Amino acid sequence: MAASVEIIRAALADALNEVGVDLEALQIQSAGRREVVRVIVDRDGGIDLDHIAELSRRIAELLDAEPLAEQFAGTYVLEVSSPGTDRPLTEEKHWRRATGRLVEATCADDSVITGRIVGAHDGIVEVVMDDGQARAIPLGELRRGIVQLEFTRQGATPAEVESLDDEFADDDVALEAHADDDVALGANAADNE
């Protein structure tokens, strides 16, 4: 018997909402004699690894107790994670949780915009465009957005970026020095065989 996604989704969504967490996705797949239960959760303010571990324990307790336990014919493997940066922004809560992040968004008219999310509320997403212009865009006019990865800190000054570059350059020198040690150790290990 395959586990009922609808029954499990309803029970998990209710339990997670009680602790201020949204069930973003639930997937159950057969993998041999067991099932893999993938749960994606999120909340305002984000979720760290400690919270994921706590939620994993809570979800496992729910899945192991009746009536959910009877949904599984055998054993299951539980995987709990957050959505990650590649999750498309499609709902207001996604846009709100990405406040401060740089996004590229496809609009309903197929145009593409890039800017930093300033806020999302009441069906409006506020974005500061690359040219500095602030826009309030109705959520209905946005198909989806993708958070852009930034390799410098948001709001970093050029001096701070240069300081980081210098710091990494120092690390590279240290790594090169240790790489020579590793080569020597590797040679000694080969001699000892």
pLDDT tens readout for residues 67-110: 888 888 788 999 999 988 888 999 999 999 999 999 999 999 99
pTM above 0.75, yes or no: no
Q: What are phi and psi of 76, to 5 degrees?
A: -135, 160
Which residues have C-beta within 8 Å of that of residue 49, sequence separation ≥ 6? none
